[in-house]
Amino acid sequence: MPFFITTLFYGSLAIVGTRGWKNPEDEDFSAEDEKIYNRELERLKISLKLTENFGGTKIAMLHYPPFSARGNPTGFVDIMKNYGVNICIYGHLHGKSSNSATEGEIDGIRYHLVSADYLKFEPLYLGEWLT
């Protein structure tokens, strides 16, 4: 399967993304999951490395949430902090599982769950947080 680094620069925005993966706290987290999780961490690092000298707003997009159901940060959070990410949007949580979503500003990063059903199929306006 080909691998593409996802980093987009648009004016004062740098947008990076990776899929992420299941949380290591999950009971069914296997050795294969760990391999995928670590690969996804590296993909995020590679994408963000391209933004090191960028002075604008950095947005990270993940499919899987960067926090556990208990609100504990995963390795993705440390990487985003290290590279100065301003906004993280993520999905994957639907229905009742969205009750465990971590949102709001934490350590300088604004987190938003953007699953369509969670947002009642209304777009989330991020403009007020963009510089």
pLDDT tens digit sequence for 106-119: 999 999 999 888 88
How many whole angstroms separate alpha carbon 19 and alpha carbon 44? Answer: 9
Q: What is the mean pLDDT of residues 5-16?
A: 89
User: Under 8 Å CB-to-CB from 122, ≥6 apart: which residues?
Assistant: none
CB 74 within 8 A of CB 31: no
The 10s digit of each residue's pLDDT in 20-68 is: 999 999 889 999 999 999 999 999 999 999 999 999 999 999 999 999 8
Total residues belonging to the chain: 131
Question: Does 3 score more than 60 pLDDT?
Answer: no
pTM of the complete model: 0.90
What is the H or E stretch that residue 110 is in? strand 109-113
